[in-house]
Structure 1
Amino acid sequence: MAEALEERLARAVRLREGGDPGRARELLLDLRGEYPSDARVAYQTAWAHDVLGLEAEAVPHYRAAIAGDLSGEEMREALLGLGSTLRALGRDEEAGRVFEQGVQLFPDFRPLRVFRALLRYNTGENREAVADLLRLLVETTADPEIQRYQRAVTAYAEDLDRSWLDGTTVDT
């Protein structure tokens, strides 16, 4: 029976990735009914709902997936999906907790930090959002012109209200 699950789950993923998330959702909902405690099925079901714009319906599936046994890659993606979905629904406090959990568990998974920065912007934490994005830019850019200013950009990220060159406070 496990092979049947694997085959059906793979088929649902192919449908979602192939541009037919509606059919994927139907198959995944059937699988959720048959395998309610399977975290991978819950994760894929959440994702299919998200792709279809059914964010509110995706949330319980994400939560079930995160409570279950996912691989590291699946867990970080599920945390990203849940946080992003909660943010889209305006459930900012919950989204913040999910992103913080994700960043703590997966500090090197940069997409969590990007989406946390978006949430910070939405909640009025504009300095923190910009600082996060500046740090990510310095860490990831291959642009030699930006790399040339790495020290200055890093310093600005640490204190956006300071003039890095002369040490005076900028009026905000």
Structure 2
Amino acid sequence: MPAHAEDWEARIASFWSTVDLDDPEAAIAAMRELAGERGPEDPDALFELGGIHDSTGFEAEAHELYAAARERGLSGARLAQLNIQQGSTLRNLGRLDEAIAMLEATEPDPSIGDARAVFLALALRDAGRPDEALRLCIEALVAHLPRYQRSAAAYARALTDDD
């Protein structure tokens, strides 16, 4: 990775740690400036620009930018993050079937941890599938329990098993 790319990544990280989401116009303008350094076709820049639109409540614009980042070959951790963020955006836009499909297809990645389970559970709940949502959340927690893993897993399965 060229030195300027590392600098850009550091500035992106700094942006996200300091951004004032209560001032959407300024936040979007600042990210546009950062993204502009990479050019209009750069998938990483498009993803980050989508993220600030998403974070400031401009879901439709975020979805367009996420789609453009995906089309231009976004990869690695940012692709895993995009799947979570775009899935959440689709849910917020009321496109539940698309959100569920995207989140179900999301591959594990250390950068997202159990986020897939959280956002998929929210989409399932909104789609009128609360037992599946609860099962998913419990199953995501089982590995983190110091005790009762077997019981919790069995109770989770019982929520949706047709016995």
Q: CA deviation at 1:98?
A: 1.3
- Structure (1 or 2) with the larger CA radius of gyration: 1
1:137 aligns with 2:136: no
Q: Is the 8 A contact 2:32 2:49 kept in 1?
A: yes
**Which residue pairs with 1:78 in the alignment?**
82
Identify if the C-alpha distance between structure 1 residues 45 and 23 changes in structure 2 by more than 3 Å, giving closer, same or farther. Answer: same
SS at match of 1:154: helix
Task: Please report the TM-score for the alignment, with normalisation by the length of structure 1.
Answer: 0.75
**Which residue pairs with 2:29 in the alignment?**
26
Q: Is the 8 A contact 2:19 2:27 kept in 1?
A: no
| AA matched with 1:153 | A
**Which residue pairs with 1:166 in the alignment?**
none
2: CA distance between counterparts of 1:28 and 1:130? Answer: 36
- Correspondence list, 1:139-154, <5 A: 139-141=143-145, 144=146, 147=147, 149-154=148-153
**How many corresponding residue pairs?**
155
Q: CA deviation at 1:160?
A: 2.2
**Which residue pairs with 2:54 in the alignment?**
50
- Correspondence list, 1:39-118, <5 A: 39-102=43-106, 105-106=107-108, 109-118=113-122
Q: Is the 8 A contact 1:83 1:98 kept in 2?
A: yes
2: CA distance between counterparts of 1:153 and 1:12? Answer: 40
Task: Please report the TM-score for the alignment, with normalisation by the length of structure 2.
Answer: 0.79
| AA matched with 2:155 | Y
Identify if the C-alpha distance between structure 1 residues 154 and 107 changes in structure 2 by more than 3 Å, giving closer, same or farther. Answer: farther
Q: Is the 8 A contact 1:9 1:28 kept in 2?
A: no
Q: What percentage of aligned pairs have identical amino acids?
A: 31
Identify if the C-alpha distance between structure 1 residues 47 and 155 changes in structure 2 by more than 3 Å, giving closer, same or farther. Answer: same
1: CA distance between counterparts of 2:160 and 2:81? Answer: 34
Q: CA deviation at 1:27?
A: 4.0
2: CA distance between counterparts of 1:33 and 1:56? Answer: 24
Unmatched 5+ stretches in structure 1:
163-168
Q: Is the 8 A contact 1:12 1:25 kept in 2?
A: no
* Deviating more after overlay: 20-29 vs 108-117: 20-29
Q: CA deviation at 1:20?
A: 3.5
Identify if the C-alpha distance between structure 1 residues 9 and 156 changes in structure 2 by more than 3 Å, giving closer, same or farther. Answer: closer
| AA matched with 1:106 | P
2: CA distance between counterparts of 1:157 and 1:94? Answer: 25
